[in-house]
Amino acid sequence: MKKILLIAGTRPNFIKLAPLYHRIRTDAPDINAFICHTGQHFDFNMSDIFWQNLELPSPDFQLNIKGIGVVDTIGKTLLGINEIICQNKFDLVVVFGDVNATVAGAIAGAQSRIPVMHVEAGLRSYDRDMPEEINRVITDHISDFLMISEPSGIKNLKKEGFPDSKVFMVGNIMIECLLRTKKYWDTIELSKELRFFIDSNPVVATFHRPENVDNPKTLQRMVDILLNFAADHLVVFPIHPRTKSALEKSHLLVRLQENAKILLTEPLSYFVFLKLVSHAALVITDSGGVQEETSFLNIPCVTFRRNTERPVTVELGTNLMMDINDQNFRSDITRHENDLKKRKRMSIPLWDEQVSHRIVLQIKKILSIS
């Protein structure tokens, strides 16, 4: 039996890991896949409930990392993963996305001379103020096999001098997870309050990026935008722990709590969030994955960030990039929504249910499994 280590630290990691884990179980009986959960998201709705939704077993390795800042988190995670690797003989390490667990897992694997595969490689925002961008670049440059989710990944890696032999266009595994679980999230029961908001096709908001929530001015601006939409829409705002803390410290949370047209919730489970987004009139966000989910579901999305590492969501999807300080944001968003209504829906190549199949074929070649 060949042994591979799948490393996950946050909600997006779990969503990408699940289809690959299940595909290995069904299509590659000669491979034993072990799951390492670094614990970067320790809030129940941000981690454990996702594992239940995605029918994943308990992790083989649970690190429960709680670092103070990016460097501390990466350091502690690296030490934890290194200990696991030293005690087990793995033939391949697989990391996902761009979080701290990703770069820590890649470094641990590379320094132990174990081949490393990066799923969702090649994405670039070219903004080094984003910790995720630094994680992406480091991970790609020390990985042996790069699985690409969208065409920009190929272009970026060619520009950086990567040989074609390391780069494989496989598609977006997050979309495979969305498709494979649709029968569950489409029919999930909701609370009475959330059902009322969903029936009204609300504006859905998610914000957690430091550039928006760690800066008092942009945090105030975010609140003003939500209140502006609440003047003529119902708004659902699942609050990330980081964002909630910032709002409480700045005494802005009460302004949102006092508005009856804004529903504030804890972080939602994967299934509930997908159902919510699928019924939204509009999604406003600073997330990476939400740009992809809305594009696939054909829901108008506005991303309040300076840049995106997922340009296909703008080129072929439903995403509009916007500066959070744009004074004409409502008219610009209305124009975006009208343009989408006139446009024929565009399909994004390889965003389907066969992404994990394409990855497993590469894993079998790497491990010399017929």
As given in the structure block, the two tokens for residue 135 are: 């994680």
Task: List helix spans (H) across the chain.
Answer: 11-27, 48-53, 69-87, 100-111, 131-142, 151-159, 173-180, 182-185, 192-199, 210-213, 216-230, 241-249, 253-257, 270-278, 289-297, 312-315, 329-342, 355-366
Q: Which of 37, 41, 208, 240 is catalytic?
A: 208
Active site residue 37: no
Burial class of residue 26, CB neighbours in 10 A (0-12, 13-18, 19+)? exposed
Place of tokens 């320790």: 42
CB environment 220-242: b (16+ within 10 A), e (fewer): ebbbebbbebbeebbbbbbbbee
CA atoms within 13 A on the CB side of 84: 28
Residues in the chain: 370
CA pair distance 117, 191, nearest whole angstrom: 40
Contact call for residues 300 and 271 (beta carbons, < 8 A): no
Q: Which of 132, 133, 82 has the alpha carbon at shortest distance from 109? A: 82
CA pair distance 187, 27, nearest whole angstrom: 28
Q: In whole angstroms, how far apart are CA 98 and each of 123, 186, 224, 228?
A: 9, 28, 30, 33
As given in the structure block, the two tokens for residue 15 are: 């969503």
CA pair distance 269, 185, nearest whole angstrom: 10
- Maximum alpha-carbon separation in the chain: 61
Catalytic residue positions, numbered: 208
